[in-house]
Amino acid sequence: RAKYPHQPVFLQAVEEMALAIEPLFHDTVNGDFYKRAFLYMTEPERMISFHVPWTDDEGNLKVNRGWRVEFSRYVDVVFYLRQYTTVFIMDSRPLIFGELHFLYIVHWDLTKADYGLPLGGGKGGSDFDPKGKSDSEIRRFCESFMTQLCRYIDASTDVPAGDIGVGGREIGFMYGQYKRLANKHGTGVLTGKSFLFGGIHLRPEATGYGAVYMAQHAIEDKLKESLEGKRCAVSGSGNVAQYASQMLMTLGAKVVSVSDSNGVLVFEDGMSLDDWNAVIDAKQVKRARLSSLGNNISGKYIAGQSPWTLPDLKFDFAFPCATQNEIDKDGASLLLEKGVMGVFEGANLPTSAEGQQVLRSNPRVLYIPGKAANAGGVGTSGLEMSQNASRTQWKKEKVDAMLKEMMADIYKQMVDAAGKEGTLEEGCNRAGFLKVAHALKELGWVY
Ligand code: NDP
């Protein structure tokens, strides 16, 4: 806390982890080692900051900032790129670093257990606000961003993937610029690429699908139930929310909501395929707000609310897939009042520290943090790297089978690490920590 007083989100992520692994610190054999490993892991190896000059459509010079934070060389770094929907001013820079730190902490590494490729050791982003920008402005920004970033990334150094505000369009522009500059075959250097130039099938879908696959395991294993006919609230309408909703519908669940930062669309009888297509058209093609859908959709739009603030919206399972801290203490209490049976986090740290305390107060609720529930995205980025390294293109069915297997493995690791007494949340945090800690010991980096 003394070192990072201006990084509340980072401190929140570290605290969440510390709470879950605290019993390990009392281990008579390894307790002190675990404390040292924890301290080691929470300090990045290096942080890079650079300027990103670009020209707007009126010909004006704009200057944004870009960052990269690398935490650990232990992992073959896949880092997320974020463009912020809010433009941070100079003195809130530590807050942005804080967010990047937090993204690392929430991802340390539960993915890829069986594929031998630990991933997730770095994060990156910028303070560019993509909202309201034209395609040309986005392209010019992405090209300038990559002009700087290309000095620090490589297929065997750091491999970025998308996150909030960075989807296929942005990855395409950045990759295009990388190819211009690098003068080498560079398919492995970014993940989430188009299928036309080395992308893997299902990467856009992987995070949302993976979260639903994970929920399926937990619901079948712990509740002896299925998703069929269950009412599921989804927040967000971006990449993760879109494909979580699609997979939920495929499995026969009723999706009762999606949202954006302005409001929520409620589908009392469940979202239809036509509704889903209208949301995809609005978000992926027209880049419009949910409020613009009007009568083209069966849902009712409620401005200024989220699925977690509506007392009358009934559902069985919650899939927060928008952003951090979207479920606060009141939101979590409302979930318990409604008898919600499970919370599966597609987003990173969508439940605030107080909200988590509320969820923990009722162990009946299956609570799987994003670290595990959204690991399908980074895991599939790892598959994309493997595919690129082998200069092949895998079939969709193969990738889907690998994604399913990955989520099943992660679920098993979580249950094993939780032991008889622990919750899935504790298991999730412990499994990731233990794996990294033991690797650091064997590498001779923490002793
Ligand atoms: P997108 O940018 O595609 O979508 C983000 C969605 O969240 C949008 O609907 C956005 O609404 C909404 N949102 C953003 N900020 C807020 C806010 N303050 N309040 C309410 N809604 C908000 O991002 P992704 O879908 O890729 O990412 C969503 C979450 O999933 C993030 O936490 C991300 O870190 C996490 N994640 C993403 C992965 C991926 O593969 N993409 C992998 C693992 C985790 P609006 O359109 O109004 O901005």
Q: Which helix (H) or strand (E) holds 227?
A: none
**Ranges 148-152, 418-422, 434-438: which has the least confidence:** 434-438
In a domain, 67, yes or no: yes
pLDDT of residue 119: 61
Same domain, 92 and 125: yes
Q: Look at residue 165 and give its three-state secondary structure.
A: coil
Highest mean pLDDT among 80-84, 162-166, 249-253: 249-253
Average pLDDT, the chain: 86
Same domain, 57 and 168: yes
Same domain, 73 and 212: no
Confidence of residue 357 (pLDDT cuts 50, 70, 90): very high
pLDDT of residue 92: 31
Burial of 408 (0-12, 13-18, 19+ CB in 10 A): middle
Does the annotation mark 123 as catalytic?
yes
pLDDT of residue 193: 93
Same domain, 166 and 224: no
Same domain, 111 and 221: no
**CA quadruple 176, 180, 182, 186: dihedral positive or negative?**
positive
In this structure, which residue's CA is closest to atom 7 in ligand 1?
322
Q: How many CB atoms lie within 10 A of CB 267?
A: 22
Q: Which of 100, 159, 164 is the best mutation target for the ligand 1 pocket, counting ligand atoms within 8 Å of the beta carbon and taking the most?
A: 164
Q: Supply the DSSP string of 281-321, one letter for each residue.
A: IIIIIS---GGGGGGGSSSEEEET--TTS-TT---SEEEE-
- Closest CA relative to residue 282, chosen from 243, 319, 250, 238: 238
Average pLDDT over residues 25-46: 90
Same domain, 358 and 250: yes
pLDDT of residue 98: 45
pLDDT of residue 178: 93
pLDDT, tens digit (0-9, with 9 covering 90-100), for 384-416: 988 998 989 999 999 999 999 999 988 998 899
Host domain of residue 148: 43-187
Same domain, 264 and 358: yes
Assigned token pair, 9: 């989100």
In a domain, 407, yes or no: no
Q: Which helix (H) or strand (E) holds 410?
A: helix 396-418
pLDDT of residue 5: 72
Annotated binding site for substrate: 162, 381
pLDDT of residue 127: 81
In a domain, 373, yes or no: no
In a domain, 10, yes or no: no
Average pLDDT over residues 336-362: 94
Average pLDDT over residues 219-230: 97
Identify the CATH number of the domain in which residue 134 sits: 3.40.50.10860
Same domain, 217 and 350: yes
Annotated binding site for NAD(+): 207, 239
Last residue of a domain, one of 128, 152, 187: 187
Taking the CA of residue 237 as reference, the ligand 1 atom at the shortest distance is 9
**Ranges 169-178, 200-209, 293-302, 421-430: which has the least confidence:** 421-430
In this structure, which residue's CA is closest to atom 29 in ligand 1?
347
- Closest CA relative to residue 259, chosen from 308, 316, 312: 308
> 6 or 342: which carries more pLDDT confidence?
342
Same domain, 170 and 214: no
* DSSP letter, residue 219: I
Q: What percentage of the chain reaches a pLDDT higher than 90?
A: 56
Q: From CA 304, how far away is CA 261, in angstroms rounded?
A: 8
pLDDT, tens digit (0-9, with 9 covering 90-100), for 76-120: 444 445 544 332 222 233 334 444 444 454 444 444 433 444 565
Count of alpha carbons within 13 angstroms of residue 40, beta-carbon side: 20
Same domain, 228 and 341: yes
Same domain, 213 and 161: no
In a domain, 304, yes or no: yes
Taking the CA of residue 167 as reference, the ligand 1 atom at the shortest distance is 3
In a domain, 174, yes or no: yes
**CA quadruple 216, 282, 99, 97: dihedral positive or negative?**
positive
Same domain, 227 and 265: yes
In a domain, 3, yes or no: no
How many domains, in total, are found in the chain?
2
Strands (E), 324-443: 342-344, 366-368
Strands (E), 191-344: 231-235, 254-260, 263-266, 300-303, 317-320, 342-344
Angle between helical axes of 329-337 and 353-360 (0-180°, round to 10):
30
* pLDDT at residue 265 is higher than 80: yes
| Catalytic site residue from 123, 133, 283, 371 | 123
Q: Look at residue 259 and give its three-state secondary structure.
A: strand
Distance from Cα 152 to the centre of ligand 1, integer Å: 26
In this structure, which residue's CA is closest to atom 2 in ligand 1?
164
Pairing of strands 231-235, 254-260: parallel
Cα–Cα separations (whole angstroms), residue 60 to 54, 87, 127: 8, 18, 18
60 φ, ψ to 5°? Answer: -85, 140
381 φ, ψ to 5°? Answer: -60, -40
Q: What percentage of the chain reaches a pLDDT higher than 70?
A: 88
Distance from Cα 428 to the centre of ligand 1, integer Å: 22
3-state percent breakdown (helix, strand, coil) of the chain, nearest 5? 50, 15, 35
Highest mean pLDDT among 114-118, 192-196, 326-330: 326-330
Identify the CATH number of the domain in which residue 209 sits: 3.40.50.720
Last residue of a domain, one of 349, 368, 387: 368
Highest mean pLDDT among 118-127, 275-284, 409-418: 275-284
Q: From CA 189, how far away is CA 223, in angstroms rounded?
A: 42
In a domain, 297, yes or no: yes
Taking the CA of residue 260 as reference, the ligand 1 atom at the shortest distance is 11
Last residue of a domain, one of 187, 212, 229: 187
**CA quadruple 421, 362, 433, 190: dihedral positive or negative?**
positive
pLDDT of residue 110: 43
The phi-psi region of residue 435 (left if phi > 0; otherwise alpha if psi is between -120 and 50; otherwise beta) is alpha
In this structure, which residue's CA is closest to atom 22 in ligand 1?
261
Q: From CA 280, how far away is CA 287, in angstroms rounded?
A: 9
